[in-house]
């Protein structure tokens, strides 16, 4: 199920292939101290509950780490990393959303760093090297980094294949022109390759049907 906010970011022919977040291990690191402080203040409040002045002061002190805990959980849950059939998208922010994306066509290389603990719990850092001026996008502590990287590279390969097919399609004669047996075989080959791209999510069902109809119209 695609988030409604994400749906509004996607173009008409764009589909989400893979979604992940930062790993829960990072959240545990961030909230550990806050949980400890909440526990200590709670114990002190129970021990000194007879002292009314401290009782109210204790609840005020308890609000500080509790607010930090809620804030960290909201920040964690608001971040998403998505791979579509066109680009890589990073969304962050609770109320003020920031969206950063990299076109798959501009991705030159992908590097993944996964320490021993990351291999055990399945998290790591992914660096995306692009052809733009902002040479490197780094996604820290993301969950399922291998699947994220694989989905990205597969989508890039499929997009390149689609570009090649589009060039081939431009060279196919129209119905008004004579088409030989070899060119007819090429048309069915391209339809088969388009179907494979559809199954991999590189193109939508609507794109496949449109290009298929265009090819068949030339026979």
Per-residue pLDDT of the chain (219 residues; tens, 9 = 90+): 677 888 888 888 788 889 999 999 888 888 888 888 888 877 777 777 666 666 667 777 777 788 888 888 898 888 999 999 889 999 998 888 899 888 888 888 889 999 999 999 999 999 998 876 556 788 999 999 999 999 998 888 887 777 666 665 655 555 545 555 566 677 777 778 778 777 777 777 777 777 777 777 766
Residue with tokens 């990351």: 118
Of 11, 45, 76, the residue at which a domain comes to its end is: 76
Structure tokens at 84: 């579509």
147 occurs within a structural domain: no
Of 76, 109, 136, the residue at which a domain comes to its end is: 76
48 occurs within a structural domain: yes
11 occurs within a structural domain: no
CA distance linking residue 20 with residue 142, whole number of Å: 7
172 occurs within a structural domain: yes
Q: How many structural domains compose the chain?
A: 2
Distance set, CA 133 to CA 95, 98, 102, 103, 130 (Å)? 28, 19, 12, 13, 8
Of 60, 76, 92, the residue at which a domain comes to its end is: 76
82 occurs within a structural domain: no
The set of residues, in sequence order, having a beta carbon less than 8 Å from that of 30 and lying 6+ positions away, is 72, 76
Domain that holds residue 208: 154-216
116 occurs within a structural domain: no
33 occurs within a structural domain: yes
36 occurs within a structural domain: yes
CA distance linking residue 31 with residue 28, whole number of Å: 5
């Amino acid at each position: 199920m695609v988030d409604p906010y994400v749906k509004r970011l996607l173009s008409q022919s764009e589909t989400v292939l893979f979604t992940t977040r930062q790993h829960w291990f990072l959240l545990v690191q961030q909230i550990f101290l806050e949980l400890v402080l909440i526990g200590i203040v709670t114990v002190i409040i129970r021990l000194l509950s007879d002292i009314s002045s401290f009782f109210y002061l204790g609840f005020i002190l308890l609000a500080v780490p509790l607010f930090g805990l809620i804030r960290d959980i909201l920040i964690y849950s608001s971040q998403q990393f998505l791979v579509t059939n066109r680009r890589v998208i990073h969304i962050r922010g609770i109320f003020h959303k920031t969206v950063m994306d990299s076109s798959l066509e501009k991705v030159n290389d992908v590097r993944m760093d996964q320490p021993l603990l990351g291999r055990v719990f399945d998290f790591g850092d992914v660096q995306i090297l692009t052809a733009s001026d902002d040479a490197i996008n780094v996604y820290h502590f993301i969950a399922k980094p291998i699947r994220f990287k694989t989905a990205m590279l597969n989508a890039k390969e499929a997009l390149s294949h689609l570009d090649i097919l589009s060039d081939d399609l431009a060279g196919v004669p129209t119905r008004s022109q004579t088409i030989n047996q070899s060119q007819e075989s090429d048309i069915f080959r391209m339809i088969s390759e388009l179907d494979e791209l559809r199954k991999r999510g590189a193109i939508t069902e609507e794109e496949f049907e449109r290009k298929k109809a265009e090819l068949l119209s030339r026979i």
